[in-house]
Copies of this chain bind each other. A is one copy, B any other.
Amino acid sequence: MIDMVAENSHRVVVVGSAGRDLALGATTLPEAGASASVSERMERLGGKGANIASGVRQLSPESHVTLIAALGADRAGEAVLEDAHELGIDTASVARRGATSLFLDLVTGAGERRIFEHVPPEADVREEDLRRAAPVLEAARVVVLQLRQPAAVLLRAAQLAPNARIVLDGAVEGGADGAYGAPLLAHAHVVRANADEAEALTGRTIASTDDAQRAAEELLRRGPSVVALSVSGAGDLVAWEGGSQFFPFGDAPVVDRTGAGDAFVAGLVTGLIRDESARDLGRRASEAASTAVQQFGGFTRFTHE
């Protein structure tokens, strides 16, 4: 019985996108009509949901991570499913239909990147996908809801996971005051948003640490215990009831910022699994994001832990 509880405490579910990540690096962006030679190429499992799941699996080898996502019924889907298995992600709740999403991360020159996303409608998580995964959600202790998925489906996932601490990543459709904002924030234990997402959530412009502090306080009043907001070009503010800490971005050269947000969330989840304080969650998340920006492509290899 004690073993059972111990095992359950490591049960994580991530609801979010999965697909194929194609990262291409060239020295410059060619002019229109011209061509460039690609010096670096990486192709593997990607998408925000899958990136978070693979980050947690690496940062917490003791975790059991179930990904709820939809991959295509195609070759690309097969290939990235193999990557997920290699990382030890539980893919029993991954639906297969349509074409696999493609995320192109085009890096031209030092850290200059552009993302091209091809996400077919079938790639969104559906309520029927949750129904199949209901026992897994019921047993979960941490559930990450990546907010690019349909809000109605995410809210249903939160309702199906009464034993979990819910992590929201992104901006809720319609903002904090919309039809889904209030109930999702009420379910949330942690809210994570970058500057744009925090603006979409709160309607406040986040240009400084002070702006982030005010937005975080506003979000804390709506339910969550921890709010982590990033300030573009500066760092991440992590706030909790009665306190906050700012984690400035590191000095290490940025190779590719893609995947940094996903790594940040994976760090938060790892701290939650280990019942750490909000300050420690923030430190762990900030370190994970720093590891990510020093690597090419959306996937991050975490060597420590």
Contacts and interface: CB of A to CB of B under 8 A. Distances in A.
Contacts of A34: 114-115
A118 interface: yes
A118 B34 CA distance: 15
Interface stretch (A22-30, A154-162, A180-188, A242-250): A22-30
A303 interface: no
Contacts of A37: 116-119
A120 to B, nearest CB: 9
A26 B79 contact: no
Interface residues of A, number: 28
Contacts of A38: 102, 104, 116-118
Contacts of A304: none
A252 interface: no
Interface in A17-52: 22, 24, 26, 29-38, 41
Interface string A204-222: 0000000000000000000
A118 B24 contact: yes
Contacts of A115: 30, 34-36
A114 B35 contact: yes
Interface in A33-86: 33-38, 41, 75, 79
A79 B112 CA distance: 31
A273 B232 CA distance: 62
Interface of A: 22, 24, 26, 29-38, 41, 75, 79, 102, 104, 106, 112-119, 257
Given A32-B113, A75-B79, 15 more contacts: A22-B22, A24-B104, A24-B116, A30-B114, A32-B112, A33-B112, A33-B113, A34-B114, A34-B115, A35-B114, A36-B114, A36-B116, A38-B102, A38-B118, A106-B106
